[in-house]
């Protein structure tokens, strides 16, 4: 992630204000078009109401056909048995079923669930009675079947006709009321919309002007704080490196020389003791302890501030450091370097080394994996260091705000570089540092 001075948001806010004003104008035109569309939609609803009325008339016509058929069935002069009317009733039933399904889809919102249920139940009860009537006729009980028609079917048919007539009247009344209400509602909405848009425009202008003024003050303060924070971070990093360098030298020079002298004295003292004596063995053991302590001090000294950075440069230091990390942490590090090596300034070498050190520590502690890839590229115009892992990723785990990551960004800024965290295709995290060649070669601590 590139770090640098923040820009004032004034230009963006002004642009946002103009865009908002333009959006409000476009929105006004859009709403006007929508009102026209809604008016048309309401007209279509009225048309739907009329189509519903046509289906109700179709239902009424089927019920009238049933009434005429039942009248003929009760006529004793008819030579046909009642069962002969089965086909005609079946056709009427099918047509009535289709009409009712279509009518149910077209029914307007004013239709209550009770009304719809009553109509459906009445039709179902009517056809149940018809089926029972034909069942009696099929059993040769013509008189009982005719009695069923007179007592039950005609009454149910009349009830259905009355219910359908009420629905037709309701549709007609609703159509008249809707026409008047639509015009009234939309005239009122249109007037209110203009008032609302005017108020919104005033509010947006006032709010935007206030935000511009406030943000100019806030971002000026933030820019000052950011500059102070950056200066403080740079001083802390410089102080840290100076302290680590001094401690490393003290360990290497003072304690190292003392332990070397102790080991030499113990060696000479052991040479004057008899072979195989217990004292000689104890002296040799103490000498080995002193040598082990000396090795640890040298390792610690190198970890605090590798002398190799000053003596042999970054590449040689990384050649030593990466195998050391593998031994100490158990990480399997795939190290690859490419390009034509060019000399780096001492400060740049230190900061690149510290960024690599922190990145590998993060992989070891937080990534949940034991494998990492390190790529060091000497390009024509820049130096690039990439540390990649395929674990859970420090970016997801710590949201990019850990102290170590902040320190890495500050170090990158100190040497004029850019640090970014990305997620590779296989998951995990890639920490990538890019430094322009002229800054890497000439940057002074």
The pLDDT tens digits of the residues spanning 181-195 come to: 667 767 776 777 787
Cβ distance 406 to 354 under 8 Å? no
Domain, as residue range, for 177: 10-213
Beta-carbon-side half-sphere exposure of residue 406 (alpha carbons within 13 Å): 11
- Can you give the CATH number for the domain in which 342 is found? 3.30.565.10
Q: Alpha-carbon distance 408 to 432, whole Å? A: 11
User: Within its chain, how far is the Cα of 111 from the centroid?
Assistant: 43
Rg (CA), the chain: 47
pLDDT interval class at 2 (50, 70, 90): very low
pLDDT interval class at 1 (50, 70, 90): very low
User: Which residues are bridge partners to 377 per DSSP?
Assistant: 338, 384
- DSSP helix/strand/coil, 337: strand
User: Looking at per-residue confidence, does 252 or 89 come out higher?
Assistant: 89
Domain end among 213, 233, 256 = 213
Number of compact structural domains in the chain: 2
Domain end among 180, 213, 246 = 213
Q: Establish if 252 belongs to a structural domain.
A: no
Q: Establish if 418 belongs to a structural domain.
A: yes
Q: Establish if 294 belongs to a structural domain.
A: no
Same domain, 32 and 169: yes
Domain end among 186, 213, 240 = 213
Same domain, 337 and 203: no
Cβ-based neighbours of 247, under 8 Å, separated by 6 or more: 304, 305
Q: Is the C-alpha dihedral spanning 353, 354, 360, 363 positive or negative?
A: negative
The pLDDT tens digits of the residues spanning 397-438 come to: 444 446 778 788 888 888 888 998 888 877 889 999 999 988
Same domain, 195 and 327: no
């Amino acid at each position: 992630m590139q770090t640098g001075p923040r820009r004032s948001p004034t230009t963006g806010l002004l642009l946002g204000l103009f865009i908002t004003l333009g959006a409000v104008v476009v929105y006004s035109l859009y709403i006007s078009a929508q009102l026209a569309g809604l008016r048309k939609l309401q007209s279509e609803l009225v048309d739907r109401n009329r189509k519903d009325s046509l289906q109700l008339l179709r239902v009424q016509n089927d019920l009238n056909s049933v009434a005429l058929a039942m009248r003929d069935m009760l006529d004793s002069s008819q030579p046909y048995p009642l069962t002969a009317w089965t086909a005609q009733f079946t056709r009427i039933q099918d047509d009535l079923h289709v009409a009712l399904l279509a009518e149910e889809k077209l029914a307007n919102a004013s239709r209550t669930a009770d009304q719809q249920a009553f109509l459906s139940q009445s039709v179902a009860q009517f056809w149940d009675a018809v089926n029972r009537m034909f069942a009696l006729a099929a059993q040769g009980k013509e008189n009982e079947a005719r009695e069923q028609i007179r007592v039950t079917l005609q009454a149910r048919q009349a009830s259905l006709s009355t219910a359908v007539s009420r629905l037709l009247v309701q549709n007609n009344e609703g159509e008249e009321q809707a026409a008047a209400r639509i015009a009234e509602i939309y005239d009122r909405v249109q007037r209110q919309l203009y008032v609302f848009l005017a108020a919104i425009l005033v509010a947006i202008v006032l709010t935007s002007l206030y935000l511009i003024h406030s943000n100019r003050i806030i971002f000026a303060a933030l820019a000052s704080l950011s500059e102070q924070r950056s200066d403080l971070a740079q001083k802390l990093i410089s102080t840290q490196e100076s302290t680590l360098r001094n401690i490393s030298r003290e360990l290497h020079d003072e304690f190292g020389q003392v332990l070397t002298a102790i080991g030499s004295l113990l060696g000479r003292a052991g040479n004057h003791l008899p072979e195989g004596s217990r004292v000689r063995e104890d002296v040799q053991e103490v000498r080995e302890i002193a040598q082990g302590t000396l090795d640890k001090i040298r390792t610690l000294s190198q970890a605090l501030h590798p002398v190799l950075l000053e003596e042999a440069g970054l590449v040689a230091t990384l050649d030593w450091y990466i195998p050391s990390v593998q031994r100490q942490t158990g990480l399997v590090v795939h190290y690859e370097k490419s390009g034509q090596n060019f000399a780096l300034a001492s400060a740049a070498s230190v900061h690149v080394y510290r960024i690599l050190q922190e990145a590998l520590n993060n992989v070891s502690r937080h990534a949940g994996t034991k494998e990492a890839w390190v790529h060091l590229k000497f390009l024509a115009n820049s130096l690039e260091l990439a540390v990649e892992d395929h674990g859970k990723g420090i970016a997801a785990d710590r949201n990019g705000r850990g102290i170590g990551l902040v320190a890495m960004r500050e170090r990158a800024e100190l040497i004029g570089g850019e640090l970014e965290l990305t997620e590779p295709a296989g998951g995990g995290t890639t920490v990538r540092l890019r430094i322009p060649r002229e800054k890497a070669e000439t940057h002074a601590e």
